[in-house]
Amino acid sequence: MSRSVLVTGGNRGIGLAIARAFADAGDKVAITYRSGEPPAGFLAVKCDITDAEQVEQAYKEIEDQHGPVEVLVANAGVTKDQLLMRMSEEDFTSVIDTNLTGTFRVVKRANRGMLRAKKGRVILISSVVGLLGSAGQANYAASKAALVGFARSLARELGSRNLTFNVVAPGFVDTDMTKVLTDEQRQNIVSQVPLGRYAQPEEIAATVRFLASDDASYITGAVIPVDGGLGMGH
Ligand code: NDP
């Protein structure tokens, strides 16, 4: 069965691996991107999730071409790392606006069609850092922790309508986001990961696809770590 799937930030990194995993399984996959040339093979819609009007336009385009979104993967996210005393209000609010409020915008819009269809799967990409904390990432960690409360509230609010809301919390993954870390930071992280390495984006994508599959029909409000054991116990 080919479903209408939307992956925000599906033009690179973890989002692209997720988009490929759904496309390989035969789903109709739309991705959002902000600039440059999006990868081929998907319905690519330009959309900055901090802009409600762009979110609305993106959904209209996707609905026209693929029908209402049945599986939403809210993956788009940013970091603006800084120690608290040097963190500006803009560093804080812009990360919250993308990672949390941006997710609110895309989830709310997707739910319109899902409620009508009386089914839907929503998967939010959080981070191990949301539960573990991370020095220099108070803004990012707060935004990612908030996704757990957001998803669990919606799981309660809309479970009776056959909608599921789950959170995937990746550990450190080999993407542009982690390329900015120094070798020393990288080694330090890896030394704390029981599996002793970073994840590949495809390893996150496999869990996301599972959560959207029939096999996951009774899972909602869950936080699934895909972190090589880094966050064990949290
Ligand atoms: P990348 O930096 O490689 O990609 C980020 C994606 O988010 C890009 O597609 C980017 O679009 C998109 N994006 C950022 N801001 C916006 C916005 N305002 N509107 C629309 N799209 C936006 O990151 P990753 O692939 O590594 O991360 C993907 C998700 O996984 C993020 O939510 C991240 O927090 C999370 N994560 C990543 C980890 C890692 O170690 N890499 C670990 C744990 C969680 P564009 O190309 O246009 O900039």
> How far does residue 14's CA lie from ligand 1's centre (Å)?
7
Contact 102, 49 (CB under 8 A): yes
Give yes or no for residue 198 CB within 6 A of ligand 1.
no
Please report, for the chain, how many H helices and E strands are present, in that order: 9, 7
d(CA 30, CA 41): 9
Q: Give the domain extent around 116.
A: 4-172+201-226
Name the band, by pLDDT with cuts 50, 70 and 90, for residue 1.
Answer: confident
> How far does residue 77's CA lie from ligand 1's centre (Å)?
4
Give yes or no for residue 125 CB within 6 A of ligand 1.
yes
Confidence (pTM) = 0.98
For 169, the enclosing helix (H) or strand (E) is strand 163-170
Give yes or no for residue 147 CB within 6 A of ligand 1.
no
User: Which residues form the catalytic set?
Assistant: 140
pLDDT for the residue 200 = 97
Contact 32, 51 (CB under 8 A): no
For 23, the enclosing helix (H) or strand (E) is helix 13-24
Give a yes or no: residue 121 inside a domain.
yes
- C-alpha distance across the termini of the chain, in Å: 36
> How far does residue 200's CA lie from ligand 1's centre (Å)?
14
Contacts (Cβ under 8 Å, ≥6 apart) of 50: 94, 97, 98, 101, 102
d(CA 201, CA 173): 6
d(CA 192, CA 223): 21
**DSSP structure class, residue 160:** G
What are the pLDDT digits (tens) for 69-93? 999 999 999 999 999 999 999 999 9
What's the mean pLDDT in 12-39?
97
Check the annotation: does 52 bind a ligand.
Answer: no
- Complex-level ipTM: 0.99
Check the annotation: does 140 bind a ligand.
Answer: yes
Residue at 202: amino acid letter: E
Give a yes or no: residue 77 inside a domain.
yes
CATH number at residue 54: 3.40.50.720
Give a yes or no: residue 70 inside a domain.
yes
d(CA 5, CA 195): 31
Give a yes or no: residue 178 inside a domain.
no
Probe residue for ligand 1, chosen from 42, 75, 180 as the CB with the greatest number of ligand atoms within 8 Å: 75
What's the mean pLDDT in 16-43?
97
233: pLDDT strictly greater than 90: no
How far does Cα 65 stand from its chain's mean position?
23
d(CA 216, CA 228): 21
- For all residues of the chain together, what is the average pLDDT? 97
d(CA 13, CA 204): 11
What are the pLDDT digits (tens) for 184-211? 999 999 999 999 999 999 999 999 999 9
> How far does residue 42's CA lie from ligand 1's centre (Å)?
18
Give yes or no for residue 183 CB within 6 A of ligand 1.
no
Give yes or no for residue 16 CB within 6 A of ligand 1.
no
Tally of CB atoms within 10 A around 184: 8
Check the annotation: does 142 bind a ligand.
Answer: yes
Structural domains in the chain (count) = 1
